[in-house]
Structure 1
Amino acid sequence: MSHTLVIPTDSLERQNQKLLKIAETLMRRVEQSPAESGLAYAQFERAALLEEEVRNRTFDLEQALDQLNLTHNQLAQANAATETARADLSNAIETIHDGFALFNANDTLVMCNSRFGKWMRDVHPRLLPGLKFKTYVQLVSHSNDLALPKGVSPGQWAKRRMLHHREKHAVFNSRIAGQRWLQISEQRTNDGGTVILQTDVTDMMRLERRERDRLLDDQARLIRATLDHLDQGVCIFDTSNLLAGSNQRASELLTLPMHLLTLGSRAERLHQFLHDHGQFPDPNSATRLRDWMVRKNNRTPLSFEVLIGARALTAFAQQMPDGGFVISFTDITTERRAARALAEANESLERRVVERTLELEAALGDAERANASKTRFVAAASHDLMQPLSAAKLYMASLTEGIRNPELLSHLDKATNALAGVEDILEALLDISKLDSGQVAVDLTDVALGDMLGQLSDELAPLAAQKGLDFRIVLPSATVRSDATFLRRILQNLISNAVRYTTRGKILVGGRRHGNTLRIEIHDTGPGIPQDQHQRVFDEFHRLNTPSRPTEGVGLGLTIVKRACDLLDHPLHLRSEVGRTIFSVVLPLSNPQETRDPAPIEGYGQAALPSAIVLLIENDTGLRSALTVALEAWGLDVFACASEREAMSLLQEVDIAPDLVIADYQLDDGLLGSDAITHLRQQHGPLPACLITANRNPELAMLCKTISADLLHKPINPADLRQLLLNRLPTA
């Protein structure tokens, strides 16, 4: 029941005092009323209990006091350590030669040393702990000891200072009265506070300025030396158009009086001198120069010429970044004299060039006429020679059908080979004539290499077999973009040369793809071509190892190959060593949807011709007779006519339509075989037809495609003619 006598929230001392007073009061009452012994005993007992509780509370109080004393001792030690640390920190920052200040995360000054802000006597006494950073900046911005930059107000300076304060780390310089400089370094702490260091860099700035002044002096001396050694005269004017410098060459070129080139002279005096003593080739130059000098900004570079006495000068004026400008004068008297002399020489030369041009035009006209005459002569001569040559070949082809004597067959074979050699020479001369004329029409089409090389293989494989050569063509199925006629001529010459000059070994024709191109290579194991002859082999009539038989070439094959490759833009390469030669031609791929593998052509002697009627229109009597003999020897009926009129009359008389029409392209009286074929078809329906001609113009090939007719070139190869008949004549 002790809790009813004391208040638990009282301190132990207070509770003990109350209990002692209660015990004392009870004891006194017991002594004063002995009669009431029972009640007194109860009160005594209660007093004893209270005394026990007092002792317990007293013990607790003593323990609490001991703990409190211990805590007070520890707090005193901690305060002492804190004061010691603060004193050490104060002593430490006080030993720093720079001004030091620490602001907490709330931008409140925590502490600073005595050097912080000491250069501002009106601000330094107010730099006490608790000062806000913004207030500190306002005090500094209005300090009498702060040297504000020109044109910057205290408010602007304070705004810039607060911008630096936003950065995590900032370093900048501030100028203090008395020509002193402070470097301010501001760094953020980890808890968001700010540390500021103020370092006096006056000595460094003064040293730097002295060094800069020395460099400027050296630079000025260097500029002066440079100006004095320039061949141009130079005048430099400041922003007020006052002369800031010039060199001796300027006065020499302008012949100016000395008082006009003294420092501080106005630019207008120079303009007036030029106006009074100079002559401007362009009358507007003086006005433009005056306006240019008056204008202060946006002056574009200005150039003009002026004559001072007998001296010609060119002037160039340009504005400098600071608003001033520079005018330079260059002596061009020698150049102008040379230009006049050159102009006079040019006039004389132009007259001579005109005279020579007229002479050259006349000579060129003569040369062109001679070249055209030569081309026409070669074409006409080739055409005229092809007629009897074709007739001779056809006669010989017809003789093979009836001769059985081996000796006669051998002579006939030699004669045929001789005629083939003549044919090669004529074709080569005709090709060279075309290429030299510069009027060759190129017909670029998609060419199936497989078909073309298959035909060349059929032509040349028997010759290689006769010499015991291993002859192979290995080519990927491909279609290239080229002129079919010229490409066949290129490949035929290269492969036939390989067969001609290889005596043993092998000949390999292959292809290699390189991106969008195909490289065709012709390998042979012939004698090889020496390195010093690699360019000469493409010259006309140049042969290394002359064959024993003159019919084996005259040295025009590679010339035609080179010129045709240049015309078609097909790169041609040669690699050769002893026992090995490689010619290669690079062709562009046309990437068709489908490509065909080469298919060999059947030999003309392996299939019999069907019985048929052939209408032959040929104005040359010899060739007409030879063709008739050859066709009849193959079992065909031939209606041989010299003109379209004769053919029309004959067909009307016999009232029979032919199975095939063979017509020469160039007939008598300027008539054309193509027109004759068209007229015959109008009378007798869609007759199969073939044009024969010595003209290799690509336009003829297009004409034959247009009228759906085959084309055979003279001299006519009997094998080609027989194959044509097999393909076009109707089978039984």
Structure 2
Amino acid sequence: MARALLDPGDSAARQTDKLLQIVDVLMRRVEQGTDQSGAAYAQFERAAMLEDQVRARTRELETALDLLNESNARLAAANRETEAARRNLTDAIETVQEGFGLFGPDDVLVLCNSRFGLQLRDIRDRLIPGMSFADYVEVVSASGHLRLPDGLSPQDWALQRLRRHRDRSTSFTVELTGDLWLQVSEHRTGDGGTVILQTDVTDIIRAERETHGRLMDDQARIVRATLDHISQGVCIFDAEARLVGWNDRAAELLAVSRTRFRQGASFADLVARMLASQRADAQGLGTLLTWVATPGPRPPLRFDMTRAGDVVLDTFAQEMPDRGFVVSVTDVTAERRAIAALSRANETLEARVADRTRELGAALAQAERASATRSRFVAAASHDLLQPLSAAKLFLASMEDENLNPRALDALAKTCSALESVESILDALLDISRLESGRLSVRQEAVPLGPLLDRLYQEFFPLAQDRGLSLRLRPTEAVVLSDPVWLRRILQNLIANALRYTPAGGVLVGVRSVQGGLRVEVTDTGPGIPAEEHQAIFREFHRLNARASASEGMGLGLAIVERATALLGHDVTLDSRLGHGTRFILHLGAPAPRDTSPPRAPDPRDPRDPRDPRPDLPRGLLGLLVAEDAEMRRALAHLLEGWGVDILDVPDPDEALGLTDEIALAPDFVLVDCRAGTEEAGFTLMRDLAARYGPLPARLLTAARDEPLRLRARRAGAPLLYKPVDPHQLERFIAQLAPRTP
């Protein structure tokens, strides 16, 4: 009844009023009722129950009201904390040195600090919370302080900016007027909002620009110095065929006035000037003009161009990435004449060989002459190449003490490595030539194998480590009768060959005493050698599964081993199983008694151990350098002057004697560069100097490896330094000297 009379939606006060009214009505009916069956009493009971229910309901409503008041209090406290956090966040972002803006997940600006858009003064007041991201981009794109790239409209910039906004994170740099730069970084928040940071990077950009400018200036100076010190003529043109760089050698070789070479001069104008001089090769210049006018990528172009006076210019043109191009010219007149002379000589030689072949009627004689000719040619060519190679090594050695940047040091190291590869090839060619000539003399003596193998182990251990291989050496005290230099060369080639062809595992070197005498075994874990190749691998320029190259070997090592072992009376054999490695065996014969005499002076044929410390050089030395080759003379003088030595450099012995007589001062040492066949002039000069000043420390520089020449030079007090000259050996010689007292 009470549930039907009361509306749960009424307030507690309204429900209480209703219950009181019901109780009052019921009480009046009880007092007025005459029902003798007790109905009035029942109604009274019901009224009392209703009153209890009203009280209980009232208490529940009061409890709910208390809970509601408590919740309202907590909500108010939370609102106060939220507002405090918002104020703290606002204060925090205001302390950030960059411009800060926060957009909500709906891309509406929630808050920003005073530095947000500060550099864009004309729109700064429009960047306020409540604006959409699209409106923000539109306003920024229309700012007069924003410097747009050429050809880009504000609308295009805005579209690019909105595309970047799709990424979760992006960063880019914006250029402003007044040479100002702003870096904009945009990152997504966890709820999908966006944080934008604006950082002023003007100082960084300007510093980088200044550094880049200095770098470009330094590079320009280096390029200019390089161009001015090379024998080639070089012209550099931009994509519009305008001259942007050149050297004086180009004007000299092309027979064009230096005044015509100026910045921005057109290629066509220079060609016209050359044609007008009537000294140029019209056909060659026409070829070059056609190449320059070629659309699309231009392949490198090389041809010979003849200038008036029978001057032959090797002309080379190559395109640069920006469609510019470089033209270099080299005077190869002497080389072409030499080739022509050689061609004529070859024709004469072929005729003579044909005549002699017909006379003898034996093909074997012809093969022997061809072999001898090849050996002489290799020896002569190697000797001629040693001269410029020696000069190059000396120039590079003089740069070791310079304060070079890391890039230059890396380039210097790579250049030295390349020259060492060339030198090793030339040494191998000379070894083959000398071994085939049959005129090579050897010096037999007792050679302890332990120190020799230990030195080779120290030499090859770093190489083995670089290749990820193990190199093991079994110690030995054996002594053998052999030539120490050639024995070392043989073992050096065997170990190098084993390391080169072993992809994994390692190499073991050991000495074994057997019934036939001593033998050195070099065993590797390489792929093995097929039985049909056991003889072929000892041929020149033969490499298994690889071509001959300067970096990986020319295939001469085992050829030298075979010829040298035959010369020394030794023998070399091999055992090999495919997939299980190879063992080279050097048979040395019976052991020799140990030599108890004092240690011998180092053989000049031995290379200097790279582990030797660099000696201290004395100061105040005066050296006399005699070298006919101007490049060699300049290289040696440059190196020695870098060591603090004063050098008197002259081209011939007569001028050397005249200069020393003129200054009336004896040099502290003498270096004489001897070309093939001029050694006698060097010995004569040393005798003349000794007659004037007494014996002088001296060295003869030569590419000849003849044993009689070495012995004669040592007896004359001027031991040999072989070319290409090892700067370390020369340095050791200088370190032993002291300035002469006047």
TM-score (norm. length: structure 1)? 0.46
TM-score (norm. length: structure 2)? 0.45
Tell which structure's C-alpha radius of gyration is larger. Answer: 1
